[in-house]
Structure 1
Amino acid sequence: MTYKTQANASTKEAAYIEIFKALPGNSILLQADKGCYKILACTRGYLKISGVKEVDIIDKCIFDVFPSNPHDHNDTGESNLRDSLDYVLQSKETHELPVQRYDTENEEGTFRKRYWNVVNTPVILEKGEVNYIIHTVSEITELIKTGELKEKLKGLEILQNIILQLPAAIGIVKGSNHVLELANASALNLWGKNKDILGKPILESIPELEGQGIIELFNEVLLSGEPHFDNDVIVTTFRKGTREVRYFDRTFLPYYELNNNKPSGIFIMSHDVTEKVEAKKYAEEAKKEAERQKRLYETINGNTPDLIYVFDLEYKFTYANKALLNMWGSTWEQSVGKGLLENGYEPWHAEMHEREIDQVVATRSSIRGEVSFPHAIYGRRVYDYIFVPVFGENGEVESVAGTTRDITELKLAELSLRESDERFRNLADDSPMFVFIIDDSPEAPVSYWNKTWLQYTGLALEEAKGRAWNGIIHPDDIEEVMSHYLPAYQSQQAYYIPAIRVKRHDGIFRWHAFKGNPRYLANGAFNGFVGVGLDIHDQKLAQEALRQSEIQLQQKVAERTSELEKTVGELRRSNTNLEEFAYAASHDLKEPIRKIHFFSERLKHSLGDRMNSEEIRYFDRMESASKRMASLIDDLLTYSEVSLRPRVYELVDMNQLIGLVLEDLDLEIEDKAAVIRVDKLFTMQGHQRQLQQAFQNLIGNALKYSRPGIVPLINISYQQIIGKESGLKLTQEEQQKVFYSVSINDNGIGFEQAEAERIFNVFTRLHGNAEYKGTGIGLSIVRKVIENHNGHIWASSQPGVGSTFHILLPADSITKS
């Protein structure tokens, strides 16, 4: 029984209490407050049977109104009733006390022994909690204590033949030894015994009962005179000599001799309910499974993005899942039980669905449609829906169920696809090339040709579809077409037909090339080809002319080759002369400088202390200028040498080469306490002296341009990369080559990135001689060396942070360490 809370609860509660008082039967309404269980209302029948007045019990705890009998320790009425009420409050289930002694106090203050049948029923509100308990009683004192039960027991002898044939196991035991006086056939069969056991103590005849609690129950019933009932009790039986465990409902009633108020024996009745218990267990398991299926159903319905709902035949919603409630922006209470208009449907929309519901009921079949409807969050959306009939037990339509799916995105995708297809066809029709679409088939049926093809062949689109191209392609070229198409179709790869003849509308064949690419559906499934055809007729004719001139071209190439060989020889002689000139020029230039330096030193020594400070400064400047000149000549000589690509390469171990460079620079390294870290490098084909000069210039610059007061840190590292990973603008061939990328990084003074390219120019310096000595040729030499080895060099820097020089050397001739 469930009560729904309302805003005017107090008024309605009073009305409910008056209704309760007028109910038939013997009941009181209790407040579900554990411990007290206050009486809120009572029926007239209850007042009559209990002998109390309404004014004496309302708003009082039930146990204050009906206390236990303090003079009889066997009175368990209050404790059993309290346990029953507590159980109902906790389990939220009805509980029954089939036979309960509960003595009542009379006006004289004494207690009268009374027996009752008691049923306690919970009243549950919307929150799922027990708020009230209905306590219903019926008195069975006379049935238990007086003539009716006694008459029934006395009549057992009369009914013995009937009892002996009953399917329930029935017996009577007497005395403190529990002598078995009566046992019907079902009892004997249950115990696996015969009639010889009658007249003997039951444990002597059936020792297997020992330890099963039977004797203890006999003693309890004999002592208290109270009947005992239990259900679904596990009992060990010995039917046909086989031990079995079965379930029984048992009744133990005190047996009274005539004119004797003290029981002399016990009437026993046991009913085998094993099948019922097992069926109950099965039903409980089935119930659990059904509940699980229900939870699963509710979970799916509650979490699916589809809208799920049910209409009754009055067009009102009897069910709406979470997605539909979210679309409405309302709750179950606000929406279910209401019609379409009440849930925000526009009149035309509501009328349309009502007609469709009528149609489903009349035709007993489903109906499907599409409709646009506003969503509470996402605005107007497009939905696909289906209504289906729900049939009752009589075969008639009792309701209409529906599901609705949001297909807005699908509709937008379809629109986009149509627009895309339209754009494709417009572009294709404007193309000077043939454009076609081939369906998914090994026969290459064409489903689309653009206007260019149709105008060229003189066919209409419907005429050109399918294998119509078979009559347009030159018969001798059909095999060529299929030899390219079939392998591409089987592998779902692109194909290219370099040259086939296509007949024009005037019957003239022209050469064309065709290219086809696979096309796919949105789900990734292969769906044929889309391709183009290009007129190459003029190129094809030109090929023949080219072939005819090939012999002449080969002759000219031979003549030109001979001329080039002569030119190469002259270049070699010129390079030799240039080298000799460079050596002679450097020697002739360096000799006067050496003499200037030599004689200035002798003159300075000869004059000695006779020179003043200004004259000494002149000599120092002259010596400095001569040294710079000598250095410049050396650098020019080196630059002239590296400007010539080496004729012979050798195997160069870069690890050893860097070691030699660091040995040459050991004084500078020691003077500046520099820290130099070098990765394990590689071995390559190159020019040892040029490479050593290049790396000495780079490392020397890193030492020279260090920041004052900062320990120079120089890192030399490399990695193997593919050309396209370098970020440089390389040739197509270089992008696919393997390179070693070497980086020389320092923490020196750095420079502006804008100067990163200019520093490799000859005689370019970013600082004056007063700050840093140099000729401005060192980095030009480095670039020449790297270019002689088919490599690349570039720099990145930041003032005050340091510089990094990046070197890219081809690895095709490199042998790993």
Structure 2
Amino acid sequence: MNTLPSNEETKRLAALESYDILDSLPEQEYEDITLLAAQICGTPVALITLVDGQRQWFKAKRGLAFSQTPRQDSFCAHNIPVASTPLIVTDARKDERFRHNPLVTGEPNIVFYAGEPLVDEDGLAMGSLCVIDSQVRQLDGGQLAALKILSRQVVNLLTARRKTIQQARLQRQLRASEARFQDLVMATPAATAVFVGRDMIIQQVNPPMLAIWGKDDAVIGNTLHTAMPELEGQPFLAQLQHVFDTGEPFLHQEGVALVIENGQPKQVWFNHAYNPLVDEKGQIYGVINVALDVTSQVITRQQLAEREARFRTIVEQAPMAIGQLKGRDMIVELGNERLLEVWGKDPSVVGKPLVDALPELEGQPFMAIMENVYETGLPFHGTAVLAKLVRQGRLENVYFDFSYSPIRAADEQITGILILAVEVTGQVLARQEINKSELRFRSLVADAPFAIAVYETADLLITLANDVMINLWGKTKAVIGQKLAEALPELADQPFIPLLNVVYATGKTYHTAEQSARLLIDGRLQTRWYNFVYQPLRDGQGQVYAILNMAVDITDTYIARQQLQLSEQRYRDLTADLDNRVQTRTQELLLANQDLQRSNDNLQQFAQVASHDLQEPLRKIQAFGDLLGGQLADHTEPSVGDHLLRITNAAARMSALIRDLLTYSCVSTRQQVFDPVSLDAIMAGVIAGMHEVIQQTGARITVDELPIARGDKPQLGLLFGNLLDNAIKFAEPDHSPQIHVDYFYRSVAELPLDVRPATVAPFYHQISVTDDGIGFDKKYLDRIFQVFQQLNGRSEYAGTGVGLSICQRVVENHGGGITANSRLGQGATFCVYLPA
């Protein structure tokens, strides 16, 4: 403990002795001051302490049983060396100066202490006016100011006492006490008034009380009823008279009064005390009214209550789930309808600990997170967090965006947790599906046979590129994640990045063919040619967020065509002088073509006539052969019957050959007029027409769903009829054929190398007829489509060798191609490719 220098301490103790107050009897003036101090500061203990050389002695005490303590235990003694400022100890248990003090560790268990030093006119500290509490407390500015004023009043009392001792003790003590009391009334910051007699004549009133009343000092000398007629019907006059009659003090917290201010009624709230005033004879002669205006505090509390009510209304009407948990036990204090829906509970959970309201949270992280928020005061935010909640009787996986925020009281102590949550299960599941789709997309991109890359944002950030594109750029995968301009600086003076910026800004797809680009490949700048597309990618709101780049390197094709064009140019240059002869030759060819067309027409007419005229004698040969065979069956040698059979069989083959030749001729010369036709319908008609053959052979035919194509229905019927007829005809002996008709949609790049369609198209219909028959050796593939070519003997497998030639001619008429694949004894597959 700091102490004064010995000379100063000697001077101080001498001054204290001059007041002749140590061990004096209690005096009401001092008791009133401790009462006011306790009431104003709201503490149970208030003391006026005087410190001599060995002890601190209490001139007035309120709320304390003993009258003195040793000086070394005194809090007030710490005010002696520093008399200019009050001593404030918020929590003595944590203050190194006092934590072991017996007044802290034992009765009265001091925790809070506020002492204003009692400094006399010579600047010497006699002791202090202090307030004490056994719990942590803080004083506001008004209370500290009041304590300081009251301490000055104590000093005034001490000073007056010393003067009274020096002069006429008895007569002037009363006047000094009265003067001090009046000064106290006028100087105290608390509103104070003194009423005399049962009629409550206003003897004295200070400015704070006049402010509460809304009056001026003209009311002094009037009865309270006359000065404030607005008190009629209010309880205050009756309360004052009760104190005057009984001598019982009256204390009221937050009493409300109606006063007139500037001619208008106004409600005010105040804490007020009525205490009787007693003369030297012990007779009550009046009442002192001390009041503290708490209107602002009450209005603030009412506003807080209104805000709390509005908060609850907002919570109830909010579109998001909101809840409030109270205390360490996380009691469900508030939960709106959305929160109860999210939890799958009813309002009965309000008032229960969260762990009881939602037992399914056990084993999940949420309780631990909330406890951490409560302990640390740090809010927690979660995005798309999985929670397992029992809703409608079953445990569901639910996803939330949520926050846990601490709720604080006025003293900043955490009292609970505020929950804000939005269920995002639908969005999370949708995002998961998007991620799956993204993975599928990335897999497709990685496996694509052509170059693909994706550039995101206006900065053209490379977020995806397959190996083909990486090789095309001549880079490594390290470029993924870089801006295109930085990854490929060689594009700086080329048009590609400006084109991409236009696509990103306009959202319009850009296509180009045979575009040259200079790329740094194998350490040197090379020029190559590409076909590519810049396709904008849009989000759910239709905004462009990325660009898909697909490219095909056509450098070899481009260079070959350029060389071809150069050769053609040289050829044109070489033949420029032959133009006249070419024109002459062209005219000759036109005339020859006309002759050829006439010959073709004549050939067509001849084929029809020949077919009719040749078929007629063949039919007669067959008819007479059958008739003659029947007549001679029992009368001739067996060799005669065999000869007749050979004659009729030869005639039948000749007839079939003539029919096939006629068909081949018609297919070869028919003018092409194609319409959309259903290949499904054509195939069904062909199978229906072969019903008897299918029944006889036990053939089983399965057909994929076939598309609509442009073509000639009769010719396509011939095509499918001949293919199915071959598949049945060339079956293994004593075996029921199994035939499959499959359909595929092919790009031109997917066509086999040996298929050269008559018309180039980007896509083709592939119809494949597969059987399990005898097959053929693949070395004969070039022969099977030639006219009259047969790989098997006529005695084993009937046929004219014209059917597959007809198939080839039909396919060529339709701009397509045909090929076959087979191994001897393992069946055959005939593949037809028609332009799509």
TM-score using structure 1 length: 0.37
